[in-house]
Amino acid sequence: MYNLCFMGREAFRDYSPTIFKEIKAKHDKDATGVIVVLDTREEDYVKRRYGDSVTICVLSEFMNAHWDEFTIDKLVEFERKYDASPMWKYIYTDRFLINRDYDYCVHTAAGLFAFWEYVFTTYKIDFYFDEVIATLFSYAAYLVGKKTGAHFYSLLLMRSVGMDLTHHYILNDPFEMIYDMPDNYLDKDYTPEQLQAAEKFLGEFEELHSKPAFMKFSGKVPKIKAKFLLLPFFWIRQRFFNPHTKDKGNYIYYRDYETAFDEIKYYRRYRKSRKYYNKADLSKKFVYYPLHLQPEASTIVCAQKYEKQLYFLDNLAKSVPADTLIYAKEHYSFLGSRDNSFYEALKQYPNIVLIDPWEDSFALIKNSECVATLTGTAGQEAMLLRRPVIMGGDILYENAPGVMRIQDIYGNYESAMAGWVQPNREDIIKYLAAYMSCARKGNTYVLSEARLSPENISLLATSMYDYFREIKP
Phi, psi (rounded to 5 degrees) for 352: -115, 130
> For the chain, what are the domain ranges?
3-180+440-471, 226-271, 275-434
Q: Between the CA of residue 46 and those of 119, 141, 216, what are the distances in Å?
A: 18, 21, 30
| Cβ-based burial of 179 (10 A; exposed 0-12, middle 13-18, buried ≥19) | middle
**Rounded Cα–Cα distance for residues 406 and 312 (Å):** 11
pLDDT for res 215:
56
- The residues facing 171 across adjacent strands are 154
Between strands 325-329 and 352-355, the pairing is: parallel
CA dihedral sign of residues 333, 337, 339, 340: positive
**Cβ proximity of 343 and 273 under 8 Å:** yes
Nearest CA among 280, 269, 409 for reference residue 342: 269
**Cβ proximity of 331 and 375 under 8 Å:** no
pLDDT for res 211:
61
Nearest CA among 186, 198, 215, 178 for reference residue 394: 178
Q: Between the CA of residue 304 and those of 12, 66, 174, 368, what are the distances in Å?
A: 27, 31, 12, 26
The one-digit pLDDT tens for each residue of the chain (473 residues) are 999 999 999 899 999 999 999 999 999 999 999 999 999 999 999 999 998 889 999 999 999 999 999 999 999 999 999 999 999 999 999 999 988 999 999 999 999 999 999 999 999 999 999 999 999 999 999 999 999 999 999 999 987 677 878 999 999 999 999 999 999 999 999 999 999 999 999 999 988 776 655 555 556 788 888 888 888 888 999 988 888 889 999 999 999 889 889 999 999 999 999 999 999 999 999 999 999 988 889 999 999 999 999 999 999 999 999 999 999 999 887 789 899 999 999 999 999 999 999 999 999 999 999 999 999 999 999 999 999 999 999 999 999 999 999 999 999 999 999 999 999 999 999 999 999 999 999 999 988 888 999 999 999 999 999 999 999 99
CATH class of 275-434: alpha beta
Longest CA pairwise span in the chain (Å): 67
Q: SS3 string of 333-346?
A: CCCCCCCCHHHHHH
User: Pseudo-torsion of CA 38, 110, 256, 333, nearest 10°?
Assistant: -90
pLDDT for res 234:
87
* Amino acid letter for position 165: L
pLDDT for res 219:
63
**Rounded Cα–Cα distance for residues 455 and 471 (Å):** 25
According to DSSP, residue 323 is labeled T
Q: Do 3-180+440-471 and 275-434 have matching folds?
A: yes
CATH, range 3-180+440-471: 3.40.50
**Cβ proximity of 57 and 119 under 8 Å:** yes
pLDDT for res 52:
82
DSSP H helices in 177-305: 192-208, 231-236, 262-273, 297-300
**Rounded Cα–Cα distance for residues 326 and 372 (Å):** 9
CA angle 50, 53, 143 (to 5 degrees): 100
Q: Give the global pTM.
A: 0.93
| Cβ-based burial of 148 (10 A; exposed 0-12, middle 13-18, buried ≥19) | middle
SS3 content of the chain, % helix, strand, coil (to 5): 50, 10, 40
CA dihedral sign of residues 370, 371, 372, 374: negative
**Rounded Cα–Cα distance for residues 60 and 205 (Å):** 47
